[in-house]
Structure 1
Amino acid sequence: MLHALPKKSSRELRALVSALDDKILTRGKAIQADNLDVPWWRDQL
């Protein structure tokens, strides 16, 4: 999607996505998918 946008819009969206990626990655909690009895979306994000 970023490549399809005009340069300015792409740059703005890339900055937002990058900030969110950094925030998610710094949480340090991985989503566990090895237990199929517990839905992964509950208390995992």
Structure 2
Amino acid sequence: MPTKSARELRRLVRDLDIKILNRAEVIRADSLDTPWWRGQL
């Protein structure tokens, strides 16, 4: 990937990572049967 494109992609991914981490809540996984994927994200 060209340097400029790689830099732009890294910036976009970093910005999205920051948004996701700021919105993320702790996902409980008390046991293997916990349906963490239902409405927890």
User: What TM-score do you get using the length of structure 2 for normalisation?
Assistant: 0.65
Q: Note if 1:22 corresponds to 2:18.
A: yes
Shift of 1:34: 3.2
Runs of at least 5 residues in structure 2 that lack an aligned partner in the other structure? none
The structure that is helix-richer by fraction is: 2
Higher RCO, 1 vs 2 (CA within 8 Å, ≥6 residues apart): 2
CA RMSD of aligned residues (A): 1.7
Deviation digits for residues 1-42 of structure 1 (CA, Å, limit 9, x no counterpart): xxxx21111011111100110001111403333343343322
Q: Which residue matches 1:33?
A: 29
How many residues are matched? 41
Runs of at least 5 residues in structure 1 that lack an aligned partner in the other structure? none
**Which sits farther off after the overlay, 18-27 or 33-42?**
33-42
